[in-house]
Structure 1
C-alpha cells in the first residue's frame, strides 16, 4: 500500500514526514507533523485517490483514537503524530496535517 502526505500551510509553516511511504499490510504506520506557527487546533485529513477530503481528527491537546487510528499532539513542542495500527490496503491515501493560526486578538475585538 502507498501513503502520501500533503501540507496545508503557507511559507513552510507545517512540515510532514515522511513525504511518501510504502508499507506492508499489518504494519504500524506513523506520520509526523511539525509546525512553526501558534495554533489552538490541528486537523488530520485524509483523501483517497479521486475522492473528497475527509476529516479524521481535530486536536487541541492530548490524544484521540478512532478505530485503528490514533492522533497525538504536543502543543509545547509544536508536534503531532498520526498512527495507523494494523495497516490495511484501504488506508492507501494522502494524509494532510493542517493548522489554524491563533493570532492574538486586537483589543476590543469580539469573538
Structure 2
C-alpha cells in the first residue's frame, strides 16, 4: 500500500488522513490530507480505472488500530453502510463504477482518523 500521511489534528480542527491501497493498479484518493474546521462538511474522492471492479469499500482507522469497514457501494445502485456509521453523518455516493465519494457531515475531533478506499469484486453474502 502507498500512504499519504498528515500531521495530527489541532484543537480547532480535525486531521483526516486519506490513503489509497491497491494491488493491480492505483486507487487515487483526493485530497491526500485534509484539515477541516469543526462543523464543516467534507468529501473524499476515490477513483480508479478498472471498470471490472464494481465494488468500492470505505474503511476508517483510528490511531494504529484495526481497519473498520464503514460501508461499500456496488456499481451505482447499491449502497450499504455498516452499523456505527449513521447515514446522516456518513454517506457513500457511487458516481460511477470507477468513482466513489465519501462524505462526512459536521466534522468534529472524533472524526480525526485515516480513511481508506479500496476497490474489489462484489460482496458475497
Please tell me the TM-score bracket, short chain as reference. 0.7 to 0.9
Q: After TM superposition, give the deviation of residue 50 of structure 1 in Å.
A: 2.2
Count the aligned residue pairs: 101
Q: After TM superposition, give the deviation of residue 3 of structure 1 in Å.
A: 0.4
Richer in strand (by share): 1
Q: Distance in 1 between matches of 2:23 and 2:54?
A: 17
Q: Distance in 2 between matches of 1:85 and 1:34?
A: 21
Q: After TM superposition, give the deviation of residue 67 of structure 1 in Å.
A: 3.5
Structure 2 stretches lacking a partner, 5+ long: 1-13, 82-86
Q: After TM superposition, give the deviation of residue 11 of structure 1 in Å.
A: 5.5
Q: Distance in 2 between matches of 1:50 and 1:16?
A: 20
Report what 1:8 is aligned to: 21
> Given the two structures, how large is their TM-score scaled by the length of structure 1?
0.81
Matching of residues 1-111 of structure 1 within 5 Å: 1-10=14-23, 12-37=25-50, 38-60=52-74, 61-62=76-77, 63=79, 66-76=87-97, 78-100=98-120
Higher relative contact order (CA 8 A, sep 6+): 1
Which structure has the greater CA radius of gyration? Answer: 1
| Aligned partner of residue 87 in structure 1, secondary structure | coil
